[in-house]
Structure 1
Amino acid sequence: MLIKKSLDDYLEALSSREATPGGGSASAAVGAMGAALVLMVAGITRPKLKKRDQKKLDKVVRDLKHALRRIKQIIDLDVKVYRDLIKSYQKVKNQKPSHPAARKQIQIALSNSFRLQADLALLIAMVKEITPVLGRYAKGSIANDLTVARGFLDGGFLGALATARINLVYMTSSRKEHFERGLSQLEKKYHGGKF
């Protein structure tokens, strides 16, 4: 499991000539760093707040922890989903002529890869949506960590969008346009500050 490796080992794997881990896993890792920093800011800020504000922040922290847990899972899950996609392509390549069921398997694998990265983008957007709330409470140097977290979140979000979209390029599904519209709406909300 990549998530259990040291950062150095993960970076070595990422920089190797192997196809995995790749951009999808890296996007999740960057998003996880952003979410973790947001959690740190919440943890440091909480004791300085009034009880009423602490209770509001406690719900935010629960949501953040849930999102971080799911984002961390995607670091490894992306590798599995990508390998499944490659296996699907290899099945078609090895069959002469290629069997319709094998081509359908490619479309299923592309859809799974797309959905995983679209889910990652949504999770990161949910974390980013929380940052203005924390920004009201975070004062002094800890506010800088929130700025750094936003940078990580932006990087993870853009990576997840790009990885989701590359899967759309190869999809033949009638839902392809629907998926692209959904991504475009999410991207617009994210960059418009609606998240």
Structure 2
Amino acid sequence: MAQVMMDKTCRDFAEALAAREPVPGGGSASAYVGALGASLCSMVARYGASNPRFAEVEDDLRHAIAASGRIGFELLELVEEDVRAYGLVSAAYGMERGNPHRSEVIQDALHEAALPPYRIMVACSRVLALLEEMADKGSRQLLSDVACGAVFCRAALQGASLTLFANTTSMKDRERAEELERECDALLDTWLPRADGLAKRAADAARKRS
């Protein structure tokens, strides 16, 4: 897949995000922020895997390196997927109003556009599970990095949910829309508090209260 957005420098991506253009938008930004969370998870795991003090959990750390790397790559691809999905919606709404297939095409495009943010949420949930493991098995000196990764994934989860809702609210197939919304709500209910827990754990440790 041609990585159009991810071929940009960080500065270029930020400038593209700031431009008066619909893409990249909140969904793509959320995917990128989630990928940064995955990268922090990889960093923490790599420090532990190369340290003899963590020999007992080396296999777990190396698994975390591989898993967070795969998820991070998936999230970078989802930056592009979100852009592509918006293009489908834009093209659908751009069809001539007299076209008898216009409504159906719009509805299919809206459903298609709700899938990348849902996948972003699932991916960030998987990263958060790995970060919880790194909080227990990685270096205590890197607990703040673990927590930063969790905060990034939390933001990405919530940001992606808003993009999902923006699409499902216009879907006429309410059964399909509400199924996505229920799954989205379940992810938020489960993982936002757990991400907050990691952030609090790091803050308390830094302030010597744990």
TM-score by length of structure 1 reads 0.92
Looking at structure 1, the residues matched to 144 and 122 of structure 2 have their Cα atoms a distance apart, in angstroms, of 24
Question: Could you tell me how far 1:95 is from its partner in structure 2?
Answer: 2.6
Give structure 1 stretches of 5+ with no counterpart: none
Matched with 2:205 is: none
Q: Deviations for 1:77-116, whole angstroms, at most 9, x for unmatched residues?
A: 211110111000111xx233x41x2211111111111111
Matched with 1:81 is: 85
- 1:34 is aligned to 2:37: yes
Matched with 1:175 is: 176
Looking at structure 2, the residues matched to 140 and 90 of structure 1 have their Cα atoms a distance apart, in angstroms, of 54
Q: Deviations for 1:58-95, whole angstroms, at most 9, x for unmatched residues?
A: 2222211111110000111211110111000111xx23
Matched with 1:11 is: 14
171-180 or 67-76, larger mean C-alpha shift? 171-180
Q: 1:140 to 1:129 in 2, by over 3 A?
A: closer
**Superposition misfits of 4+ residues, deviation over 6 angstroms:** none
Q: 1:142 to 1:50 in 2, by over 3 A?
A: closer
Matched with 1:55 is: 59
Opposite residue 95 of structure 1, the aligned amino acid is R
127-136 or 138-147, larger mean C-alpha shift? 138-147
Matched with 1:95 is: 97
Give RMSD over aligned pairs: 1.7
Matched with 2:76 is: 72
Matches for 1:73-152 after TM superposition, within 5 Å = 73-91=77-95, 94-96=96-98, 98-99=99-100, 101-152=101-152
Q: Deviations for 1:2-44, whole angstroms, at most 9, x for unmatched residues?
A: 1111000000100000111111100011111111111111111
Looking at structure 2, the residues matched to 27 and 191 of structure 1 have their Cα atoms a distance apart, in angstroms, of 15
Question: Could you tell me how far 1:192 is from its partner in structure 2?
Answer: 4.2
How many pairs does the alignment contain?
191
Opposite residue 80 of structure 1, the aligned amino acid is R
Looking at structure 2, the residues matched to 140 and 130 of structure 1 have their Cα atoms a distance apart, in angstroms, of 15
Matched with 2:154 is: 154
SS of 2:144's partner is helix
Give structure 2 stretches of 5+ with no counterpart: 196-210
TM-score by length of structure 2 reads 0.85
Q: 1:88 to 1:71 in 2, by over 3 A?
A: same
136-145 or 164-173, larger mean C-alpha shift? 136-145
Looking at structure 2, the residues matched to 16 and 141 of structure 1 have their Cα atoms a distance apart, in angstroms, of 39
Identity percentage of aligned residues: 24
Looking at structure 2, the residues matched to 163 and 95 of structure 1 have their Cα atoms a distance apart, in angstroms, of 25
Question: Could you tell me how far 1:140 is from its partner in structure 2?
Answer: 4.3
Structure scoring higher RCO (CA < 8 A, sep ≥ 6) equals 1
Looking at structure 2, the residues matched to 186 and 107 of structure 1 have their Cα atoms a distance apart, in angstroms, of 24
Looking at structure 1, the residues matched to 156 and 82 of structure 2 have their Cα atoms a distance apart, in angstroms, of 13
Matched with 1:166 is: 166
